[in-house]
Amino acid sequence: MSGFKSVDTITDDFPNDGKAANCSRLDDDKQHHSRTLLIDNYDSYSNILAHVIAECQDNSSLPLTVRNDAISVSDIRFLVKEHLIDRIVISPGPGTPSSGICDSGVVDALLNAKDELVRGVPIFGVCFGFQAIAFRYGWDVVRARHPKHGEVSEVTVKEEEDKEESRRGGLLFKGVPRVFNATRYHSLEALFPGKRKEAEKEVRGEEELVALAWADVVESEKENGGGGGGGEEGGTVMALRHKVYPQYGVQFHPESICTEPHGKTIVKNFMDIADAYWKEKRGEMEEEEEGNETTTTISEERKTVLMKLVNASRETQDKKSSNKSSNKKQKKSAYRLHAREVSLLDSPTRSEDVFRTLFSDKKNAFWLDSATADGSSGTNDSNGDNDTPRGRFSVMGCQGGPLWRRVEARMNGKLVVMNNQDEIVKSYHHGGNGSILEYMDEELKRFNVSEENFATCIVDEVNAVKDGESVKGLPEALLFACGFVGSLSYETREECDSPIFFANDSSSNSNTMVKAALYFVDQAVVVDHEKKMVYAMTLTEDGPETEDLFEALEWLATTTLDINRSLLNKVKHVADEMPKKTVVTQNCTQLAESIGFKWRDDKEEYMEKIKTSQERILDGHTYEVCLTNALTRRDVGAYKQTRHLYRELYYALRERNPAPYAAFFDFSNGAGEEKAHFSDMYVCCASPERFLRCDQNGNLEAKPIKGTIARVEPLGCAEDVKAVRDLQTSVKDNAENLMIVDLLRNDLSLACEVGTVKVPGLLKIESYRTVHQLVSTVVGTLPSTSSGENHAEGNADDDDKRISPIRAFQFAFPPGSMTGAPKYRTTQIIHELENEQPREMYSGSVGFWSCRNKAFDANVVIRSVTYKDGEMKIGAGGAITRLSDPLEEWGEVELKARRIVETVAEVERKLEREREIKDYSSYA
C-alpha cells in the first residue's frame, strides 16, 4: 500500500459527512483555508514535500495528494472552481517530460490546458515538475552536463523585485541568501531556447520563462548572478518563473534535509505568491467563469468521489489538531502477561550461555541477538567517539504454550498456521485485501497487553509480604511482550506499493517461494544487557484459574531454574570454543567456489549490470540502484542440513562478526503435517542495520546504512583511522547515504505527524570488526488519532485510535537502503536486472512485532546466510550511483560476503573433522 488512494477507485471507504452532496463553496474567510494539490509523479520524496507544505501553513494541513495518473484536468478544474484548491505543486519523479503521459500523467495536459481558470492556477514544480514547465514552454530537457544525485551544491540567485514582482506577491527567493546550499537529484537539465536550432525556435515561439537561479557557476560569474544569459558558460539553471502566469519551478529539492532551512522558506514564498494572486484575480476569474458555457464538466458521480477525497483529508487534519493529547484508559485485554526475573549482576554469563542451556536442542528455536552487547563480543574502534552500537535486549525462545503458532505465507497467496501440537489450524489462500501484514495486525490487536498489565506482571516473591504480593513491571524500554518473531522476505514488498511480476508466477516457483516465516510466541526469555537481568515471560488468557494458566506459571518456574542453571554451565561453553580463524589467501570468490558456492552473476556480468544501472540513472529513471548478487549452493548434503550445523554456524558468526541486530531462526521441519505444509529453513544473520523500530507510544526510528570501507589491522592503527576519514569525506558515500535518508524521511512521513520527522544523526561513523560504516538516524511520531483510513483498528483503545505501527512498517517496506530511489520505479529496474529472481529473506527484515501496543523492532537482513529446502544462499550488494566504479563495487560485494563465506568454510571443516573422528572411533 502506498498511502495514496486513486481518485478513480475511491468509494465508500472514505467518510462522507454529507458535504459531498451539495459541493458547497467555502467562501467565508473563517471557513476557507488556502489548499494545495500535490501531484505525485511516483517519487520517493513527494510525501516529505507534503510535510514541508503543511509546515508552511498556519493550520499545518497536508496537501491533497494524488498520483499523476489518478486525476484529470477536468477534475482539477472542478477543484479550483469550488475553491477546494488554490495552488498546485508538481512533485519530483523518474523519467522525462518529453515522454508525455508515460512519465508525466496529468502534468503534460495540465500545463498545456487552454482553459484560463486552470491555466491561471499558481503552479510550483520541483525537479521533474521544474523540467515539465521548462519543456512546456520550449526549453530542451536533455542529459545534464553536471548530473547530481544526493549531492549538495551552491545555488546562486539572481532575482530582482520590480513592480510586477510586488504585484505578484513578492520574490520566490525572499529571505534566502544570494548563494545557498541545496540538494540535487537530477540526471537531466533544462536548456535555454537559445540552445535550440533556429527552426525549432520559430515553431515554439518567443521565450516565456525567466531564469532565477543557477548552479555550477564559476566564481567570476557569481558576481553577475549567474552570468552568461544562462547558457553553457552560465551553469545549470536551478529556478525559473513564467513571465505572465504564476508558474514557478526549482531543479533542486527544497524538501531535502540538506536544503533546510531555505527549502521551506522557498515553499512558503510560493504559497504567499499564490495567495496574493488569488486576492487580486479571484473575483475577475469568477466573472469570466459565469459567462463561460463551453467549459468541460465532470459527472455528478465524479464530483462526489472528489469531494469524498477532500473531506476525508480535512477530517483527518481536524482529528489530528483536536485530539493530540488524549489520555483515555485502554480497554481491558482478554490476555495477560506474566513474568519472572533473574539477576546476572554477579555472573559472567552471556546471553549465549542462556540460549545454549535453554534452547540449543529445542525445536523451532529463535534468538534475536544484540551480539555487540554480549560480553566479549564487543569491538575495538578506531577512536573513542565511534563506539559500536550496543543493543540493550536479546529475545529468545522455542516452540511454546497453547497460544504458540507457526505461520508461513507464500507468494501464491497461501497462508498456513500450525499450533504447538503440530496441528494445522488454518490454511487458506488469502485474496482481495488479505495479507500477512493484515493477519499480523489483527492478531496483535487480539492479544494486546495493556500498559497496566505490563507494569505489574512480575511477582517479586523475595519481597512479598503476608497480606499480599509485591509486584513490579518489566523495564519501560523493553518493547517485547510476546508476539510475532521471524522474517519478512524482500518479496513482502508486493503488499507495500511495490508490485512484483515473476515470469513463472503460476509455476511451482511461486508455490514454494516463502514471503514470510513467523512464530507467534507466548513464552520467551529476554536478556537485559544493560541492567544485567534475565526475564522469563508468558502470555495467557486472562480470567479464572485454568489448567493452561497453571502450566504457564509452571513454565515460568522451570525456566527460572534453567536460567540459574545456565550460570553454572558457563565453564562448559568456554571449553567448546569456535574454530580459530585461519589465514585465507584465496579471494572471496575462490574460497566460495572451493566449498561449492557460485555467484548468480559473475564478476563481468555484475559489472555490466552496474553499467546498465548507471545508464538508467543518466536517463533520469532513478537516482540510485541498490543492486545485489547472491552466492548459492544447491543440493546440500544430508549432514549439512542438520540443526547442529546451523547453530554452530551462528555461534561462530556472532563471535567473528558481532552485530547489534543479529538473529538466528530455526524454521526446520519435523514430520507429518509440519513437513507437508512448511518449508525447511534456517536464518543466520549478523546485521548491523536497524530498518525500523516503533515503541509503545508510536515513536519511530530508522538507522539506514550506506557507505562501507574495510578496517585495517591492527584495529585503531593510523591506517584504520585514515579509513574513517576517507569514508567521512567520500562524495559518493555521503551522497548514497543522503539519498536514503531523504527516502526514509519520505517513508516515515506517510504515517507520522507533521513536524515530527527529524534527522538527529546524519552521516555518522559506526565501526565493526571488519568494516567502518556510514550511518544516519531518522525519527518520527505517529499521530494519536486515526488518519481517515482506519489505520488504527489494531489499537486496543477504539476511542483513541492512531495509525497502526504495522501500517507504518508497511509504508516504509522494503528497506530503502536495499532498493534505492525513487523506490517504485527503482524496484522495477532491480527486478529486471536481477533476472526476476527473488531475493527471499536477504534484503527483507527479521525482528519482533510485540503484543505491547504493536511495538516492533526489525532489522535489514544483510551479512547473512540462509538455508531453504536444500539450498544455501549468501547475499551481498551495494548502492550504484553515477559515481560508482564497477570494479570497486565488485570489490565491495566481495568484502561484504567474505567474512560470511570464511565462517561457513571453517565451521564445516570443524564439523567434518568431528565426523571423521567419530567415524574412526566407531571403526576402531
pLDDT, average across residues 163-185 = 84
Last residue of one domain, picked from the residues 322, 345, 361: 322
Q: How many angstroms separate the CA atoms of 315 and 322, rounded?
A: 11
Q: Can you give the CATH number for the domain in which 489 is found?
A: 3.60.120.10
Rounded Cα gap, residues 194 and 191, in angstroms: 8
Residue 580 has pLDDT above 90, yes or no: no
Q: Note whether residue 3 is domain-resident.
A: no
Is 777 domain-assigned?
no
CATH of residue 115's domain is 3.40.50.880
- Within a domain: 748: no
* Mean pLDDT, rounded, for 149-172: 80
Report pLDDT for 12: 31
Task: Spell out the residues 6+ positions from residue 509 whose beta carbon is closer than 8 angstroms to its own.
Answer: 502
CA–CA separation, 443 and 431 (whole Å): 18
Query: Among the ranges 108-122, 368-382, 668-682, 796-810, which has the highest mean pLDDT value?
Result: 108-122
Beta strand pairing status for 123-126 and 690-694?
Answer: unpaired
- Amino acid letter, 527: V
The answer to whether the beta carbons of residues 622 and 820 sit under 8 Å apart is yes
pLDDT at 223 over 60: no
One domain, residues 215 and 236: yes
Residues 6+ apart with CB under 8 A from 719: 712
Cα separation, 782 vs 808, whole angstroms: 8
The more confidently predicted of residues 304 and 194 is: 304
pLDDT score for 511: 66
User: Residue 198: pLDDT band by 50, 70, 90 thresholds?
Assistant: very low
Task: Quote the pLDDT of residue 638.
Answer: 59
Average pLDDT, the chain: 83
Query: Are 286 and 354 within one domain?
Result: no
How many residues are listed for the chain in this entry?
Answer: 924
Task: Judge if 339 and 299 occupy the same domain.
Answer: no
Whether residues 309 and 340 share a domain: the answer is no
Residues 297-317: tens digit of each pLDDT: 788 888 888 888 787 666 555
Q: Is the pLDDT of residue 753 over 90?
A: yes
Q: How many CB atoms lie within 10 A of CB 713?
A: 11
Cell of 179: 548563494
pLDDT in tens, 1-48: 333 333 333 333 322 333 333 333 333 333 445 689 999 999 999 999
81 is catalytic: no
pLDDT band at 782 (very low <50, low <70, confident <90, very high): very high
Report CA 583 to chain centroid distance, whole Å: 38
Is residue 360 classed exposed, middle or buried when 0-12, 13-18 and 19+ CB atoms within 10 A define those classes?
A: middle
Whether 689 is a known active-site residue: answer yes
Q: What is the pLDDT of residue 772?
A: 92
Closest Cα to residue 682, out of 869, 404, 549, 467? 869
Q: Is residue 886 a part of any domain in this protein?
A: yes
Of 655, 693, 705, the residue nearest 843 (C-alpha): 705
pLDDT recorded at residue 762: 96
Residue 139 CA, distance from chain mean position: 36
* Domains contained in the chain, number: 2
pLDDT at 276 over 80: yes
Give the orientation angle of helix 351-359 with respect to helix 547-568, to 10 degrees. Answer: 130
| 769 occurs within a structural domain | no
- φ, ψ dihedrals at 563, nearest 5°: -65, -45
Q: How far apart (Å, rounded) are the C-alpha atoms in residues 201 and 189?
A: 18
pLDDT > 50? residue 383 = no
> CB within 8 A of 795, min separation 6: which ones?
445, 448, 801, 802, 804, 853, 854
Q: How many CA atoms lie within 13 A of 745 on its CB side?
A: 28
The letter for the amino acid at 826 is T
- 191-220: b or e for each residue (b if 16 or more CB lie within 10 Å)? bbbeeeeeeeeeeeeeebbebbbbbbbeee
What was the pLDDT predicted at 817? 94
Instruction: Give the CA distances from residue 33 to residues 26, 58, 63, 66, 86, in Å, rounded to whole numbers and listed in that order.
Output: 9, 9, 11, 19, 9
Name the β-bridge partners of 708. Answer: 773
Whether 581 has a pLDDT exceeding 80, the answer reads no
* pLDDT confidence band for 504 (50 / 70 / 90): very low
Q: What is the pLDDT of residues 391-432, one digit of tens each?
A: 899 999 999 899 999 999 998 888 999 999 989 988 877 654
Q: Write phi, then psi, for 609 (nearest 5 degrees).
A: -70, -30
Going edge to edge, which strands form the sheet with 123-126? Answer: 64-67, 36-40, 87-90, 123-126, 247-250, 236-242, 209-215, 140-157, 179-191
How high is the pLDDT of residue 822?
A: 94
β pairing state of 123-126 and 247-250: parallel
Query: Average pLDDT of 799-816?
Result: 85
Do 308 and 413 have their domain in common?
no
**Residue 822 near residue 618 (C-beta atoms within 8 A):** no
Residues 124 and 56 in one domain: yes
Burial pattern 221-255, b for ≥16 Cβ within 10 A else e, equals bbeebbbeebeeebbbbbbbbbeebbbbbbbbbbb
Q: Are 867 and 681 in contact (CB under 8 A)?
A: yes
d(CA 640, CA 910): 12
Is the model's pLDDT at 207 over the cut of 80? no
Tell whether the model's pLDDT for residue 231 goes beyond 60: no
Strand partners, 186: 148
Which segment of 41-55, 179-193, 227-241, 814-828 scores lowest on mean pLDDT? Answer: 227-241
239 & 340 share domain: no
The pLDDT value given to residue 630:
97
Q: 735, 774 in Cβ contact below 8 A?
A: no
Dihedral (CA of 91, 92, 98, 100) sign: negative
Q: Residue 702, Cα to own-chain centre: how many angstroms?
A: 8
Q: How confident is the model over 323-342, as pLDDT tens digits?
A: 444 444 556 678 999 999 99
Query: Has residue 234 got a pLDDT over 60?
Result: yes
pLDDT digits (tens, 9 = 90+) for 583-596: 566 899 999 999 99
How far apart, in Å, are the Cα atoms of 132 and each of 101, 117, 266, 592? 11, 20, 19, 49
- pLDDT average, residue stretch 687-714: 93
Percent of all residues in the chain with a pLDDT value above 70, rounded to a whole number: 78
**Dist. CA 23–CA 32, nearest whole Å:** 14
Domain boundary among 322, 354, 381: 322
Do 273 and 318 reside in the same domain of the chain?
yes
Domain range for 460 = 335-373+390-574+588-698+782-916
* Residue in the block written with cell 525572499: 174
Q: Report the DSSP beta bridge partners of residue 29.
A: none
Of residues 821, 819, 790, the one with CA closest to residue 806: 790
- Please indicate, yes or no, if residue 618 is contained in any of the structural domains: yes
| Kind and range of the H or E run holding 654 | helix 643-656
Q: What is the pLDDT of residue 916?
A: 78
549-563, 792-806, 881-895: least confidently modelled range = 792-806
Q: Which of 266, 220, 299, 289 is nearest to 8 (CA)?
A: 299
Alpha helix stretches (DSSP H) within 9-155: 19-22, 46-55, 73-81, 101-104, 106-111, 116-119, 128-136
* Rounded Cα distance, 442 and 794, in Å: 6
Bridge partners, residue 519, by sequence: 406, 485
Please check whether residues 813 and 900 belong to one and the same domain.
Answer: yes
**What pTM, to 2 d.p., does this model score?**
0.89
Question: Catalytic: which of 320, 703, 706, 801?
Answer: 706
Tell me what pLDDT residue 800 has.
43
Active-site pick, 255, 408, 443, 689: 689
Residues 694 and 825 in one domain: yes
* Residue 573 or 6, more confident: 573
**749 falls within a domain:** no
Task: Bin 375: left if φ > 0, else alpha if -120 < ψ < 50, else beta.
Answer: left
> Which three three-digit cell numbers place residue 553?
506459571
DSSP state of 782: -
Q: Which residues are CB-contacts of 2 (< 8 A; sequence separation ≥ 6)? A: 497, 750, 811, 824
Instruction: Give the CA-trace dihedral at 860, 866, 872, 873, to 10 degrees.
Output: 0
Q: Identify the helix (H) or strand (E) that includes residue 312.
A: helix 300-322
Distance (Å, whole) CA 110 – CA 104 = 10
- 632 with 531, same domain: the answer is yes
- DSSP SS3 for 322: helix
Does residue 823 lie in a domain region? yes
pLDDT tens column, 478-495: 999 999 999 999 999 999
**Which residues are 471's β-sheet partners?**
459
Which set of grid coordinates corresponds to residue 810? 508497511
Q: Please check whether residues 346 and 217 belong to one and the same domain.
A: no
* Number of neighbours of residue 143 by Cβ within 10 angstroms: 12
94-108, 527-541, 681-695, range with the lowest pLDDT: 94-108
